[in-house]
Structure 1
């Protein structure tokens, strides 16, 4: 495993963030006041558990970008040229009221109330960006982009990922970059201070993309479609994308080996591989996090890869972006991607190295904490930040002796 290097500009700032979120909040008070004067903190347009804190026209410069990025200082209301991919994020104004016509349908009246806001606003697809890094893919050709779903409060998980598999580096001449995908704090939280904390964190690391929709479970699909659009605009040179959660273990060496095998076999153009789930049906248990009422979807799911972690080619990602625009949003993000693949008449490839339900589904099994499995797998879900740091250290310890290499 190559030694990873951090940017020198980070310096002593990193320990400050890890010391205390409260301390970081104190440091950002002055910036908060300045930002409020500049109109960054705009009024919430509607409080429906959907839109974020700035669902209104954004002023020039409202999106946080690096000053050396090609999109810095763009004109927010610049016209979009027909049939040409824009060179900037063009979702600058959000005018997304509920679709009142849906309320007249009988099936909507029968629908579980917890899905009402999702259905009434699922035509709201692209949202303004609060933090953007268009330069992330512009620094030469990026071989692998590690894209991590997270929420503002999960700072410890992001820190663990940065210190382990999300550490930006170059391996055998192949550049690896990392991005975290976030929405806005949900209603009822200290939104202003949380927002300042994430801006402070991004000032240190420069690896966060944030959109102005609330970071809720039903809005995970918005992260998928907004990222696909972002990727299509800003990442022309990227070859592959790994997309996963912030509580997984990723063996980057094995992941790069898998990519190399696919390239040698010339099977990389339509690559979409992970822990594939086939012949699944919607869960009808109302107590389940993944409950879906019949009124919303009443047929088997297409094959899909577990959202804990999967790998896809950039070519396929761009095709997924195109077909996703013609599909209704679905509240389970990995199933939605399966629907997009089905539209392309493709199916995700299953690979035993991706274990998005753990090495074994029995959580108490000692197999789930056996480092020799982690050394030979690609993705394992799910670990706390402390478990990830500890497992990474053990797996990369030269003194670890494993009896034999398991088949990948």
Structure 2
């Protein structure tokens, strides 16, 4: 049965990609919410609602407009995740993932997502995801629930999982932290297509032995970037959603880390600002509202571009973008020898 489910997921992946591309290109498609605004809580199973193609989409002024704040439910949840015998987490990893990325999540568990990589430091990991696309939704949901029973590390939230809903993923992940893991010292938002070096991040950037930094956020900092106004571009920003000529400084989306106290303040501000679909830019807008700027990381340690693997060079990095799961599995055994080789 499991093999049949996996086969269906793989066969459906191509159709999911086509559907997602069509959603991104069709300006008449509305923003995606799980049920109508007049219905504050679902009266039936949210997954059955999600399987009704387009029925539960809500018309909004613009297809890139997001519904936030909104009571999106946690459909797969682990409220006790941060209450283990090891004590409060020093670092909470919120890994942004798609429902169909079963193989990707497994590769991350076996590499940089291993919660025991940094001796003496408590790390908790959660994969944050939304609802599957309508095609094969029930089969994929069954597979997700089976995966979560085995690993206990999925956090599924009740909105459609699309690139344009990434801001909702990040904000609801922070809401989970505020509700169930407020004792964590730092929160890492990270994508799945990266190489991550948790030891360097913890020991050299966050430094467990120094006092907590209440207004701390760092990553690769973009300073005064210009909004892209070309329709059809992946990062197109319509003037009606953001009219200014420059974005405030922000940390690049593949991975950034912040203190939990700042995460709570960002959540408070986010409820008052108009959410935009570029999540890293939106976090920058929240920082600006708070009168804060990102803290520079050690130079050239958060790389937003592809870099060829080199054992000793990667030992001195936090993050490298554009790494696929098969590459991680290939280099990881070698990378673990860095402390004895370099």
TM-score norm. by structure 1 comes to 0.68
Query: Aligned ranges for residues 154-233 of structure 1 at < 5 Å?
Result: 154-169=101-116, 171-187=118-134, 189-233=135-179
2:81 paired residue number:
136
> Do 1:141 and 1:175's aligned partners in 2 also have CA atoms closer than 8 Å?
yes
Aligned partner of residue 214 in structure 2, secondary structure: coil
Tell me the CA shift for residue 288 of structure 1: 2.0
Tell me the CA shift for residue 126 of structure 1: 3.3
User: Structure 1: any 5+ residue segments left out of the alignment?
Assistant: 1-15, 26-46, 65-94, 103-115, 403-408
How many residues are treated as equivalent by the alignment?
309
> Do 1:220 and 1:332's aligned partners in 2 also have CA atoms closer than 8 Å?
yes
Determine if the alignment matches structure 1 residue 372 to structure 2 residue 312: yes
Determine if the alignment matches structure 1 residue 394 to structure 2 residue 340: no
Tell me the CA shift for residue 22 of structure 1: 2.3
Q: Which aligned segments of 4 or more residues in structure 1 are displaced greater than 6 angstroms?
A: 53-56
Determine if the alignment matches structure 1 residue 343 to structure 2 residue 289: yes
Aligned partner of residue 182 in structure 2, secondary structure: coil
Q: Relative to 1, partners in 2 of residues 1:386 and 1:317: Cα closer, same or farther, differing over 3 Å?
A: same
The equivalent position to 1:276 in structure 2, one of 204, 210, 221, is 221
1:289 paired residue number:
234
Determine if the alignment matches structure 1 residue 127 to structure 2 residue 111: no
1:73 paired residue number:
none
For 2:226 and 2:122, how far apart are their aligned partners in 1?
39
TM-score norm. by structure 2 comes to 0.81
Between 285-294 and 382-391, report the one with greater CA deviation: 285-294
For 2:46 and 2:213, how far apart are their aligned partners in 1?
34
Show CA shifts across 1:280-331 (max 9, x none).
Answer: 0111233421011223222210100011111111111111111111111111
For 2:283 and 2:208, how far apart are their aligned partners in 1?
21
User: Structure 2: any 5+ residue segments left out of the alignment?
Assistant: 10-28, 48-55
Tell me the CA shift for residue 279 of structure 1: 1.0
Tell me the CA shift for residue 388 of structure 1: 1.2
Aligned partner of residue 349 in structure 1, secondary structure: coil
Q: Relative to 1, partners in 2 of residues 1:386 and 1:216: Cα closer, same or farther, differing over 3 Å?
A: same
Q: Relative to 1, partners in 2 of residues 1:190 and 1:23: Cα closer, same or farther, differing over 3 Å?
A: closer
> Do 2:202 and 2:208's aligned partners in 1 also have CA atoms closer than 8 Å?
no
1:333 paired residue number:
279
The equivalent position to 2:33 in structure 1, one of 36, 44, 51, is 51
For 1:124 and 1:270, how far apart are their aligned partners in 2?
23
Q: Relative to 1, partners in 2 of residues 1:258 and 1:330: Cα closer, same or farther, differing over 3 Å?
A: same
Query: Aligned ranges for residues 8-27 of structure 1 at < 5 Å?
Result: 22=6
Show CA shifts across 1:19-38 (max 9, x none).
Answer: 7852798xxxxxxxxxxxxx
> Do 2:34 and 2:46's aligned partners in 1 also have CA atoms closer than 8 Å?
no
